[in-house]
Structure 1
Amino acid sequence: MALNRIYTGKGLVITLVVGFVAVEAIIAAGFLSFVHFKTSANWATKSEQVLIELERMSGTVAGAETQQRGYLITGSDEYLPPYREAIDTLETQLRRIGSLTRSNSLQQDRVAFLATQVEQRGDEMDQAIATRRTKGLPFAKSVVSVNHQNRTMATIQEITDQIRDEENRALARHRADSEAWAFTTGSFAVAFFLLNAVVFTLCGLVMKLALSSQSQAERLLQSLRPSTVSAAR
């Protein structure tokens, strides 16, 4: 009976220790998996934000050109405030793109070059506006023609496409990583649940075995007592 209790107690202790270690390992692995999932998701979100800012910037450039063209054609000053606002907005958008891509040196170089081209394009449009104001539409058209030969807008479009393509590739990669880590995290959660069920089941079986052994021992003692009493008489 003593040996049964000892072995039963050891079995329960071993089961609890093994179960505890396994559960802690799964919790640690699940936590690390979740951290990787969050990191990949955050990188994907950054790439999405860069793409959004690029689209906004392209729209702002197009808006600035539209307002400048309206002024050149009509000479009306009502086009100038929205034009100036668009130019100021471009500076803010470029700073945002630069901030979002600061972890990628290649993208940083592209954004820096894009900023110089946008600034040059702004100078070209300002020059055409100043010429329209002082010399009239025919001279302004000549300035626009010369500026067109510089291919500044084409360069802006090319570098914007390069930044966009890089971010699209990064976005696809980060989304794939995020989905993979999400699956891994879910797998660890399921494993944790199943292992807990197994540990509790084993503990229950060990305790049931202990109670059964104790009950059998008590019945054996009770059956021996009358014989002992009779022998004494």
Structure 2
Amino acid sequence: MLHRLFAGKGLLIALAVGFIAVESIVAACFLSLVHFKTSNNWATRSEQVLLELERMMSTVAGAETSQRGYIITGSEDYLPTYREAVTTLEAQIRRIGGLTRDNAIQQDRVAYLATQVEQRSEELDQGIVTRRAKGLPYAKSVVAVNQHNRTMETIHDISAQIREEETRVLQRHRADSESWAFTTGSFAAVFFLLNAVVFTLCGIVLKMALTSQAQAERLLHSFPRPQPAPATQ
């Protein structure tokens, strides 16, 4: 009876300890996975900012190219592409602002970038209007004056600052993501190993209980059965 009692208690204790340990590992693994996803999402957002910034700079260059083509040739064919580029610039800057809304420093830079892009668009418009109204020589003069404003250089400088900050943020979040991914994988490995240990211990305890029961039954059968007392006359 004692063997069976201790074996039963051992089984219950093993199950309880295993359950608590497994639940703890599952909780830790879940929290680690949440941190991993959060870091990965931040890294993805920084990648989107960098991509959108490159697209914006390409759009600015395309608008300048179309404006220059119109000023040189006077062909209206360049203007639809130019207007489309200007419209696209507004949408791209809004997207960059939305992606950096959690970073106050980046928000200030994006706001300043928006004012400089708007100023550059006005300068390009001024050259187009002058070319249409007064001809190529006057338009060239307007372009030369606008170049002294160094608006495009300012746009490049601000974009470089935004890019540098997002690159730094991206590297940090990538490192965090890789760290949490390793932690999650480690917890998962421990979870499976712990499961194997718990089930092995439960099997050992259960086998001990069954063995003790079998021994007790054999011992019980080995005792001689009591004979009934003879009847008295």
TM-score normalised to structure 1 length: 0.96
Q: Deviations over 1:154-211 (max 9, x none)?
A: 0000000110111111111111100100000000000000000000000000000000
| Residues 70-81 of structure 1 aligned to structure 2 (within 5 Å) | 70-81=69-80
Name the structure 1 match of 2:114: 115
Letter of the 1:183 counterpart: F
Distance (Å, rounded) in 2 between the aligned partners of 1:12 and 1:75:
91
1:20-45 per-residue CA deviation (whole Å, 9 max, x = no partner) reads 00000000000000000000010010
1:69 aligns to 2:64 (yes or no): no
What CA deviation, in whole Å up to 9, does each residue of 1:122-164 have, x standing for no partner? 0000011111111111111111111101000000000001101
Q: 1:225 Cα shift?
A: 2.7
SS in 1 for 2:12: helix
Report how far residue 8 of structure 1 moved.
Answer: 1.0
Q: Does 1:39 align with 2:16?
A: no
Aligned to 2:198: 199
Give structure 1 stretches of 5+ with no counterpart.
none
Aligned to 1:102: 101
Residue matched to 1:12: 11
Distance 1:208 1:78 in 2: 88
Question: 1 CA distance for matches of 2:212 and 2:2?
Answer: 11
Correspondence for 1:25: 24
Counterparts of residues 1-233 of structure 1 (less than 5 Å): 2-225=1-224, 228-229=226-227
Q: Distance in 2 between matches of 1:175 and 1:225?
A: 77
- Distance in 2 (alpha carbons) for counterparts of 1:87 and 1:193: 57
How far apart, CA to CA, are the structure 2 residues paired with 1:208 and 1:107? 66
Aligned with 2:101: secondary structure?
A: coil
Cα separation, 2, equivalents of 1:225 and 1:181: 68
- Report the CA distance between 1:232 and its aligned residue: 7.0
What is the identity, as a one-letter code, of the residue corresponding to 1:69? R
Local SS of the residue matching 1:170: helix
TM-score, normalised by the number of residues in structure 2:
0.96
Structure having the higher helix fraction is: 1
Distance 2:68 2:203 in 1: 82
For the residues of structure 1 that align with 2:32 and 2:82, how far apart are their CA atoms? Answer: 49
**Once superposed, which parts of structure 1, at least 4 consecutive aligned residues long, lie more than 4 Å away?**
none
Measured in 2, the distance between the counterparts of 1:75 and 1:204 equals 89
What is the one-letter code of the residue matched to 2:186? S
Following the alignment from structure 1 to structure 2, what is the Cα–Cα distance between the partners of residues 103 and 158? 22
